Each structure stands twice: as structure tokens, then as C-alpha cells.
Structure 1
Amino acid sequence: MDSSSSTPRAITGIVICCRPGFEKDAAAELTEYALIRGHAGYVTTTAESGFVVLNLDEECSFETINRNIRLAELIFARQLGFRFGTASHMPDDDRVSPIIELARCAPSRFSSITIETPDSDATKPLSGFCRRLSAPLGRAAEKANVLRPKRVHLPNLAILFIGQGKAFLGINSADNRSPWPSGIPRLRMPKDAPSRSTQKLAEAFVTLLSDTELEQRLRPGQRAVDLGAAPGGWTWQLAWRGLRVTAVDNGPMAASVMKTEMVTHVRADGFKWRPPSAVEWMVCDMVEQPSRIAALVADWVASGRCRHAIFNLKLPMKRRHEEIGRCRELIGQRFAKAALSYRLRLKQLYHDREEITGFLEAIR
């Protein structure tokens, strides 16, 4: 276990959780992003582990790094914590004491504690153990004056177990971490939805938009277009939320979608069809080259055909980071041509596979 002392520890690393198999992409993105913001370091990770660590060349304060490194701006990161210590070789009969010993020397006291694991085959079995550890650790943390639940302004003690006897101890704040364990929202599959893809759009709404933004931008009675809609997973999600949807696809729509009586099916090519008048939302989950989708979506939003768009980019097996940069550039060029500012958010969601999901809107 790391040695501890009475001297408060500084932040020594950035720890993120990601989709297993995407560690290299997450590491490349985090390294570049952190360097631009003044935090250089070297990455340590393992294939299929579901997490990445950026070890900082220079220690820094929690306040500084929390201001500079934001989870919402990282595509491949599901969860984020700023490491101040590592508890390793913990005895099987006592994980609480080593964690408390390190937490005493944290840069701050805490208002809450989260205990998580990466979403990998190796660490998933630890999830039950983490739940059982929560209560005794919380009691010990309060007794040691590490945990002060009534002081809600204090940050969270983020503990990430990567093995039975090893855990990273870090800090994160309520506005800079995922509210879901390991960054994975637990969504139920609606029984009437025609395909599991409906969960992608449901997750996109709660991940890419805040509660306030959802309330302001997504309301019953609005009009939406779903490009490449069949069999209707995304269309169903929109109709279930009370939107009237034009589903554009040459393929057939599921009967459960049409039964909502909120959907008009247009048999047409999603790249060629245009609405007779502007709509509030356009969504797109077509299987096509990501640059072609990025250009299509940017044109819809920049031209005013829709106010907001959610879309998927199917990434290539290699050079994913470069392809994302190319898509960003295409979107930027289209909005520059229209002399408009825009808001773009990209994230690899839990229900995504070899893809990322985007939210795009013009700032008028």
C-alpha cells in the first residue's frame, strides 16, 4: 500500500473508465486533451481492462485539475476521477483500514463515497463486493472524520477497485462525474420497442443533455425526423416521448411503431429526402461512412431544417481518433460557411459498440 503521512496529498493522476477494447483510443484522447490544458504525463493501461490512467509529470491541486479536465468533453471516458493514492496488497479480511489511512491524507474531506469497478470481464465479479463494502467503509470514514455527509459542497471520494486487493483513490465533484456507477446508466428495455437500438437514443438523451436542456428542448407535440429509421427503434423512442415522427427508410417499419399513431413512414433515401418545413429534431442511425453522416447532419442543422440532432458515427476499426477529428472538421466547415456558432457533444455510450453518438445544435 502507498505510504501515508499527515501531509495532504496532491493529485498525481487522472483515472477514467471506458469501454473494454477502446483503451488505446481513450488513452490517446486523454493524453492529447490533458496536454492542451497543461497536464502532461504518461499513460498506463491494459487491453480489455476498461480503464486508463494518466500519470501526471507534475502534481497539482484538485481545484486546478477539476477545472481543466471535464468528463463531458471526453468522448471515450465513461467515468472520471483524480487520483491521489493507490491502495494495493490489501489484506482479504480488511480493506477498510488501508483505504481510511490513505483517505486521511486526501487533499479534501468528502461529502460522499462511491465504490466502483471498470466494466471488464476481470472486474465485473467485484461489483457485489463493492456494494457490501459501502456501509462499513462509510461508517469508518465518518468515525475518522474523512466523511462529512452534511457538507454537500465537499467533493466525492471516488474508489475504483481494479482487483481484489488494489484500488485507486481519487476525488471527483458532482458536476464532473457520471451519476451512474462506472458511468453506465441502467435502462430497462421497453417491451413494445421493436429493437434494442431504442436504448441508444434513450441513453443519448440522458447523457448528452442535462435535465434542464431536455425539458427545454424535448417536448411532446414536437416534430421529428428519423433518417434510416427501419425497423424503428429510434422512432419508437421519439413517439413514446410524445413527438410526431416522420420515419424515412425504404425498409419496413415494425408494427409496434406504427401502432403508436405518432409516425408517418416515408419510403425514401435518407440522404436525399428533405422535410417540407423545418422540424425540431432529426435523428440518424444509418450505417454509412462517418464523414458522410457528419456532413449530412451538419447540413441539416446549419441550414435550419432541424434545430437539434442526435446521430451515430460508425467508426473504422483503426485510426478512430483521426476519423473523429475529420468529422469535427467537416461539421466546423459547414457552420463556418453558414456563419453560425454551434454546440457539438460526442460520447461513446454504453449501448454503442464500434461507434460514438453525437448531439448537434446551432447557437443562433
Structure 2
Amino acid sequence: MNMNTSALLLYCRAGFEADLGTEIVQKAADLGIYGYPSFSKQSGFVLFNCHQVDDAPRLVKSIPLTDLVFARQMLVCGAPIEFENLEDRIGTILAELDDAPLFGDVCVEHPDTTEGRALSKLCRKITVPLRQALRKSKQLTSKENLKKPSLHVFFSSGSNAIIGYSDPSNRSPHPLGILRLKFPSDAPSRSTLKLDEAIQLFIPQNEMSQRLAPSMQAVDLGSCPGGWTYQLVKRGLFVHAVDNGAMDAALMETGQVTYYAEDGFKFTPRKKQVTWLVCDMIEQPQRVAQLMANWLAKGWCKETIFNLKLPMKQRFESVQQAKQIVDKTLQQHQMRYQWQAKHLYHDREEVTVHIRILN
């Protein structure tokens, strides 16, 4: 494989290829890099083909994966290859790596789709012998070395693959870029996994104990039956749960939850020093964004995680509109802040946003 090829391979949830294509075109254009996305609907991945040689490695160095809303993983890659001899796929892969650098790891992957998951057996079968062959040819370190690029062989079908590499400082550490979580048997709803994933993604592990400390005050707007409140209670926070529905009885018995049967858009905090605001209400994304921005601007909370329920079309544009609302409100109050937004694995037709005040 020519490691200077100008293409990016980006993984995403099936059905969101057009949104990711729109996003990467804009992000690249902001850097003066131009190209075009190619994808098939429901494929679970996008190829971004740059017009200029060496632009793909530049993009990987310049666009943090965390800044891409719809991308789970990002690789520099060559053109898709077809295996003429299905009995010697490894030989074909090695032939594509004549001028490749030394890799620290190898990942054999597939799209996160029904058809793609059918390739998981093939990927497992190939991984060990491919690793052995790469070490024999001195193209892979003798032990896993995460400080070096990782080789990715991405099977789009049994006879086609895309070969690429991920940058050690700008990649997801998880297979397929997916943080898989186990549903807690005592949680009130599966929505709890959304907040759990968001917390683990947005808050660095070495800051977790300070930023989500026991005894902190939190507000959960649209809380019932308590999936998001559950994650906060589990971490020792005291939660003001706001909703017109019924809360889970076991959560109420913890003594850490105070319930308010009120409209989340009209509720005002009863206590000062609320650190966290979380919100998973089904409402127009622009309206939710303005509500979150107002809480932050008034100093009612310091950090917030919330979901934006997106329309079926122009999802990326909808996220941008929500960010513009937040930007306008907080900049009017001269507030410094960090914005992060991601279409999480446990999300469906929504994007999860984290905002932290830095003043």
C-alpha cells in the first residue's frame, strides 16, 4: 500500500453515511483541503477521497476524531482492493504493504451492519496468521506498541477490503470505534447506557473523580423513569429529578434523589452550587440547546450533558444550528467553554452533547 495515498476511511452507524460525508467535506474545506465522499447507503462507512496527494495524512493530523460528530474511527487508507484468490487473502494484503512503515498493532475489522457482522468469523480467522506473517516480514513490532500506527484491514465483503492505518494520537482505542457497555440489571431503562457512554467518552479518566465527585448536586431534566439519574446516583451524586412521569422506586429509596413533578423547560434550581445538568427530553434540538445555554449563562450549572433529537434529514446541519445557539448565548456573557458532540454507539436518532464552562 502506498502510505501517501489521499483517502480517509471513516466508520459510522449505518444510515448516517450522508451526514458523515457532509461533515468531513466541511471540516476538510475549513483547512483548505478538498475532496469528495463516496459511500453506499446503510454501509456503515465513508471514503473521503482527497484531490491532492498527502492530504489524507494531513487531515488525520489536523482533525481530532473527537471533533467529528458522526465518525467512530478515522484511518488513512489506500484504494479498496479485491481478493482474486480467496485462499490467500494474507498474501494479497502483504503485497499491498511493500512500502509501509512499522506497525505497532493490527486490527481486522468489518462494518457495524447486519451484513458486516457476518464477516466477523472471517476477521477472527485471519487476525492471528496475519499478525504472524507481518512479524515475520518485520512489518509489525514483536509486541503491541500503541505509540506506533496501527494497521487496519477493513473487510467490506468477503472478497473486498480497504487497508489503512490509524494515527496513534488520534484514534479510538475500541474495536470498530465502539465502546460497548453492559446494561445494568437494576437500571430503570436502557437509556442509562447513553449517559454512561457519554461520561466515559467526554471526561478523561484522570479527571473523573474530581469532576463527578460524590455529594455533588445535579439536575436531571426529563428524568423519568430514571435511566440518566441512575448513572449519577451510582457515582454518588445527589440528583434533582424533574419530570411529570413516575420515577423508579428503587432510585427514590437511595435517598439521593429529590423528585419534582414539573416541566423541565420551566424548572429553576432550588439549590445553588449545582455542578451537573443532564437532559434527555424529546423536543426540538434548537429549543433544548437554548435551554442548556441559558442554564450555563445564568451560572445554574457548570457542566451539562444533553441529547439533541435530530430530524431524519440534514442532521449535521441541525447540530450546527444548535451549536450556533450555544455559541451566541455564551459569547454574549463572555464565557469560555468546551463543546463536544458525538453520535454515540448507544444513540439512535440523536447526538449527545457535552458543554463545560472554563471560566
TM-score bracket relative to the smaller structure:
over 0.9
Partner of 2:147: 153
Q: Quick check: 1:40 aligned with 2:39?
A: no
Task: Provide the rounded CA distance (Å) in 2 between the counterparts of 1:35 and 1:149.
Answer: 39
Q: Quick check: 1:279 aligned with 2:274?
A: yes
Gaps of at least 5 residues in structure 1 are none
SS for the counterpart of 2:18 is helix
Q: Quick check: 1:288 aligned with 2:276?
A: no
Task: Provide the rounded CA distance (Å) in 1 between the counterparts of 2:56 and 2:149.
Answer: 10
Partner of 1:186: 180
Deviation at 1:86, TM superposition (A): 3.2
SS for the counterpart of 2:122 is helix
Native 8 Å contact 1:79 1:178 kept in 2: yes
Task: Provide the rounded CA distance (Å) in 2 between the counterparts of 1:66 and 1:83.
Answer: 11
Partner of 2:337: 342
Deviations 1:211-270 (A, max 9, x none): 223233112221111001000000011101111111111111011222332211111111
SS for the counterpart of 2:354 is strand
Q: How does 1:105-116 map to 2 (within 5 A)?
A: 105-106=99-100, 108-116=101-109
SS for the counterpart of 1:39 is coil
Percent identical among aligned pairs is 40
Q: Quick check: 1:72 aligned with 2:66?
A: yes
Native 8 Å contact 2:305 2:354 kept in 1: yes
Task: Provide the rounded CA distance (Å) in 1 between the counterparts of 2:55 and 2:37.
Answer: 20
Letter in 2 for 1:9: M
Letter in 1 for 2:332: K
Deviation at 1:46, TM superposition (A): 0.2
Partner of 1:123: 116
Deviations 1:28-83 (A, max 9, x none): 00111112123211111000001000011111177533211221110011111111
Task: Provide the rounded CA distance (Å) in 1 between the counterparts of 2:113 and 2:40.
Answer: 11
Task: Provide the rounded CA distance (Å) in 1 between the counterparts of 2:114 and 2:134.
Answer: 30
Q: Which of 158, 162, 168 in structure 2 is aligned with 1:164?
A: 158
Task: Provide the rounded CA distance (Å) in 2 between the counterparts of 1:154 and 1:322.
Answer: 35
SS for the counterpart of 1:265 is strand
Native 8 Å contact 1:156 1:172 kept in 2: yes
Q: Which stretch of the first structure deviates more once superposed, 12-21 or 78-87? A: 78-87
Q: Quick check: 1:214 aligned with 2:208?
A: yes
Native 8 Å contact 1:227 1:283 kept in 2: yes
Letter in 1 for 2:180: R
Partner of 1:299: 294
Letter in 2 for 1:348: H
SS for the counterpart of 2:114 is coil
SS for the counterpart of 1:135 is helix
Q: What's the RMSD between the two structures over aligned residues?
A: 1.6
Task: Provide the rounded CA distance (Å) in 1 between the counterparts of 2:128 and 2:240.
Answer: 50
How many residues are paired up? Answer: 357
Letter in 2 for 1:314: K
Q: Quick check: 1:100 aligned with 2:80?
A: no
Q: Quick check: 1:142 aligned with 2:142?
A: no
Partner of 2:317: 322
Deviation at 1:204, TM superposition (A): 0.6
Gaps of at least 5 residues in structure 2 are none
Deviations 1:163-213 (A, max 9, x none): 112111111123311111111111000000010000000111112222223
Task: Provide the rounded CA distance (Å) in 2 between the counterparts of 1:205 and 1:159.
Answer: 30
Structure 2 vs 1, CA of residues 35 and 62 (structure 1 numbering), >3 Å: closer, same or farther? closer
TM-score, normalization by structure 2: 0.95
Q: How does 1:23-34 map to 2 (within 5 A)?
A: 23-34=17-28
